[in-house]
Each structure stands twice: as structure tokens, then as C-alpha cells.
Chain A
Amino acid sequence: MPMTMTQKILADHAGLESVAPGDLIEAKLDYVLGNDVTTPPAIKVFEKLGVKEVFDKDRVLLIGDHFTPNKDIKSAELNKTMRCFAREQEITHYYELGRREMGIEHVIIPDNGIVLPGDLVIGADSHTCTYGALASFATGVGSTDLACAMARGVTWFKVPEAIKVNLKGSFKKFVTGKDLILNIIGKIGVDGALYKSLEFDGEGIKALSMDGRLTVCNMAIECGAKNGIFPVDNYTLKYISRTNPDRFIRSDYKIYTADEDAEYSDVLDIDLDEIDLTVALPHLPSNTRKASGCKDLKIDQVVIGSCTNGRLEDIGAAATILQGLKVHKDVRCIVIPGSQRVYRQALDNGWLQILDDAGCVISTPTCGPCLGGHMGVLAKGERCVSTTNRNFVGRMGDVESEVILSGVPVACASAVLGRVGTPDEL
């Protein structure tokens, strides 16, 4: 039976010749991920199971990023619980703040060369779907699933059907992967891909850098998708040759390609040339508009960062656009490099100096304001243009605050203009 990329990865990890949509399978996991919010409840369940050791200390990834550096006593306790467990279990991929490997989970896991093509990953964080950019199957689960997976290294899946997203053409100036995924979510709705895979294909994928693909897959969950996935091409190979040269040289990864006659529940044809700079207005990521049509919306804050847009390319784009400009007097512009490595590279490249000169505040890597945790929470009536992934009611602070989602170029332009704006206005 012909299969999609996702179906082939699932079949292989379940030891099956083939699978079909709707099949229930138990599959071996390559990596299991938790963060400082979801791991502590999982540790409780793990202890209840009476298991002494995790299934593989190299394959359980524990990353404290949501409320770190600890924002209050309770979050300090959460991180302490996870830290003690990680030390006890001798978890390889647990890092302390400030270490070169450390940062936001979905920024560092691809960048540290942990996940490679063909891997099967679950994470107790909904944005785990990010790693589909590397042609792996990755999806979010909850804490109980995390606990049981840490114990056994397997979990159950229902095999999803797929929507094929056929890309052609190339982006106009300043348009990025963020605008692409916002357009897809706007088109199909926040439940448009519920329980399904989004499989990207077509010559247009060449228009997307690896950082851009990571952004696209990161937000697959925002249209309900189980996972998003790109095929392997030269960009992927070049990326993993840098992030994990040892395994790259040994070809220690697996490339799955969709069968030509694989069945898709739907096909979306997208011409990248037709995509404009896009924003999602409150309070759903599907509430998309052309950024150029929202210029009357005044703002109080800009956030550039997160697991969606905190990568090196994003910070570089911010520095390029903001060079020689000043953040509007009524705006706080918070820049959060997604990892310590991104932070250092941005420092070495002189980008942080440019951003500092522009009047931005530069934060240590953290999820922080994206989920209304800390480092930029909004007051009642305040409005923020943010490169993050959700604009739900109360997401970044008060229930009467507003988040407008955008890519980095619109966020930078808005920071300078004090309202929603586009870089051509600068």
C-alpha cells in the first residue's frame, strides 16, 4: 500500500511493512522530551509506575525553558524537581542555564544535532512538531504520555492521514516561512488539519531555509495538525552535516520519501510569490490579514523570539532591519535569542550591539512572555506585535491585552513605527 512520509516513519518504528490511516500502532521512540512545566507531573507518574530507570538516558531530553531563569519560588521548585531527576537518572541532554547547548527546547534540539531525519520523537510540549523540518516525525503529548514513554521508550499512535502542501515559486522581499504558515492557518482554520499530517512538497521548498522550515513546522499544531514534515534535500543535508558531523559522515540517519501514489485527504497548492507580509489579529492564529492593511493598530510592545522565531536567521534579520533605526518612544522591543548558541553568534556578529543601539532590550533565552510567564507580560489594554505562535485570550498577560502574531520583519517595522507596519515604510 502506498504511504506518505509520516506513515513510512511510523510503520518502520512499529516494525510493520505498511500502515494505513486510522491504524493503531505501538511504535519505538527515538527521543522523548519534557520541559519544566510538563516534566514535574510526569516524574510523579514515573515514580508511581515504580520504574527505577528511564529507558535510555541518551534519549530522554529534559529542557527547562518555560519559566527560566526561575521567575518565582514555585517555578524554582519545578526546575529543581526536574534537575534532581535529571541528575539521578544521569540524563545526557539536560543542560544548565548559560551553557552553549542550552536554550528553548525546539531551538536547541535541532541545532544541537540531536534529532535527525527519520527519527520518531514525542515531546510534552505542543510545539514538538517543529522537528518535522528535518524530515522526522515529531508530535506533542501530555505529561502522562511522557512518563510512560520515559519508562518504556514506546507509545501508541493512531496513524494520521495527510494533507499535501505543494509549494511553488519563491518569496517576495521580507516574506518568510512565518507568513507562509500564517497563511495556511488562515486558509484552513485552527482545526483545518485536526489529527492529520501536513506534508510539504514541491519545488517551492527551496525558498525555505532550514530555519524557515523549522518555523513552518513549529506552527503546524496551530491548525490542529499532528505533525508537519518536509522532505530531505540538500539544505537538510548541509544542516545536519554542521549540527551532527559524526552521524552525517556515517550516514547514521534515514531518509523516507512519500510514495508517488500516496493518498492525501486534501492538496493545498500554494504559490509563494502570492504571499504577502501577514499578521494574525487577536485572538486566533487563523485570524490573518495582510500586515499592510492593519497600519492603524497602535502597539505598546514587540517580542522577537520564541521557539517559532528565535533562531539565528531571525535575530540576524532583526539586526539587518533595525540597523541605524530607533525603537518608537512608546514601544518596548524585547529580543530573545532562542539559545545560548544563537545569543553568542549574534554577539560575535555584532547584531546584539545593533539591537542594543536601536533601543531593544535583549533577554537571556526563555519562553517567557510567549505564554505570559515573565520577561514581558502585558497589562490590561496593552497590545503587542509578537513573533511567537499563539494570540489566545490572556496568552501574554491580562485577559484584556492583545497579541498580534507576525514574522520578524513586520515585528521590527512595528517596533520603529509604534504601530503595525511593514519594512518598506522604514
Chain B
Amino acid sequence: MKVSGKVFKYGDNIDTDVIIPARHLTSADPEHLKEHCMEDIDKSFKDRVKPGDIMVAGKNFGCGSSREHAPVAIKASGIALVIANDFARIFYRNSINVGLPILECPEAAAKIKDGDEIEADFDTGVITDKTTGESFQAKAFPEFIKNIMASGGLVGYTESELRV
């Protein structure tokens, strides 16, 4: 599967409090969450983001709280993929569980710029910056994540296990 879109670039340690501030956690409705996604560091994000766009960030993306509302808010905003140098552990797990595609690629995270048009292929892990012509190789998904994804996420996987 391939995605392509415009890049929203952020820095290191983007925490779940800025992805979706706790004051908005009184509802877990994706339609509500997307209205407030990133608002504390990028007020215009929700108006500028278009379905298929891609978020690129630095180290430790999604650090902080365990709120699954964070990957849900990003996914609901239309973002098709998050590329980062690396991800905080709970965010990584939550993203897989809710079906928000993520790729770890330090080189791409460093070189891709805000506003670039990029393309990414989940199967091969190849990321191409169409604005600069540069290509990057992301780490492939580990086997166990492929298994969960093959079941349509953790819910599908658990459903199939419960039937056994």
C-alpha cells in the first residue's frame, strides 16, 4: 500500500498533551478529537490538513500519557502516516492497535521539510521525497505487528483468538 501527501513537520518529543490536550478528553469521539488535534503547538493544523497528508517528526514522538485518543485524533484529522526518528513505546503500540500507520526512519525524519510532497510504500518501507527527489529506507514492520495488522488490528486479532 502506498500513500502520498503534503508534510506537516514537527520537532522532537511531541507529547500526547500537545497532540490532544487533556481538557478535550471528556469525549473519545474521533470527530470531536480531530477538531483539537495539535492545537497547542499548531493552531492552524486542523484547517490546513487534508486527507492523505503525512506527519513527520523527530525523536520520541507521542511521549507522555497512554491516551489512545492521541493516535485516534491524528488518524481522524486525515493524516495517512506518521514518520518519526522513533516513537514513545505506548504511542507505538496504540497506533498499531487503532490502525494509524507509522514508520521509524531517522534519516527521513531529519531531511524531509515542512510542506514537501512525499510518498511512502508500507510494504517496502521506501519513503520518497518528491520535492527533493531523495529516497529513504524505513525499518520494516516487525513480524508480530504484521500478524496483528493481518487480523485488521488488535480487535480483529483478539476476536479470532476468542473463537479458538
Contact = CB atoms under 8 A, between A and B. Distances in A.
A338 interface: no
A72 B26 contact: yes
Contacts of B28: 40-41, 44, 143
A195 interface: yes
B64 A372 contact: no
A49 B158 contact: yes
Given A190-B63, A224-B89, A142 B94 contact: yes
A399 B40 CA distance: 6
Contacts of B157: 148
A362 to B, nearest CB: 23
Contacts of B69: 37, 41
Interface in A130-152: 140-145, 147-148, 151-152
Contacts of A74: 26-27
B67 A140 contact: no
Interface string B10-22: 0001010110011
B60 A45 contact: no
A390 interface: yes
B48 interface: no
A152 B67 contact: no
Contacts of B129: none
A394 B59 CA distance: 20
B90 A141 contact: yes
Interface in B38-94: 40-41, 59-60, 63-69, 71, 86, 88-90, 93-94
A49 B59 CA distance: 35
A126 B64 contact: yes
A99 interface: no
A145 B18 contact: no
Interface string B137-162: 00000111000000001110111011
Contacts, number: 135
Highest count of chain A CB atoms <10 Å: which of B64, B143, B162: B64
Contacts of A75: 26
B60 A152 contact: no
Interface string A375-392: 001000000000000101
A380 to B, nearest CB: 12
B22 A372 contact: yes
A246 to B, nearest CB: 31
Contacts of A399: 40-41
A284 B11 CA distance: 13
Given A144-B154, A284-B13, A38 B88 contact: no
Contact of A191 (B21, B59, B161): B59
B68 A38 contact: yes
Contact of A224 (B65, B88, B94): B88
A372 B21 contact: yes
B128 interface: no
Contacts of A393: 15, 17-18, 40-41
Interface string A22-40: 0010000000000001101
Contacts of A125: 65-66
B66 A126 contact: yes
Contacts of B15: 390, 392-393
Given A142-B67, A224-B63, A399-B40, A194 B89 contact: yes
A372 B66 contact: no
A156 B64 CA distance: 21
29 contacts: A24-B143, A37-B25, A38-B67, A38-B68, A41-B28, A44-B28, A45-B155, A48-B155, A49-B159, A50-B159, A51-B162, A141-B66, A142-B66, A143-B28, A144-B154, A148-B157, A156-B144, A158-B144, A191-B60, A191-B86, A194-B89, A221-B90, A224-B89, A372-B17, A372-B23, A393-B17, A393-B41, A394-B40, A395-B22
Given A144-B94, A373-B22, 7 more contacts: A74-B27, A145-B97, A158-B144, A194-B86, A194-B88, A393-B15, A393-B41
Interface of B: 13, 15, 17-18, 21-23, 25-28, 40-41, 59-60, 63-69, 71, 86, 88-90, 93-94, 97-98, 142-144, 153-155, 157-159, 161-162
Interface of A: 24, 37-38, 40-41, 44-45, 48-51, 66-67, 72, 74-75, 77-78, 123-126, 128, 140-145, 147-148, 151-152, 156, 158, 190-191, 194-195, 221, 224, 226, 284, 371-373, 377, 390, 392-395, 399
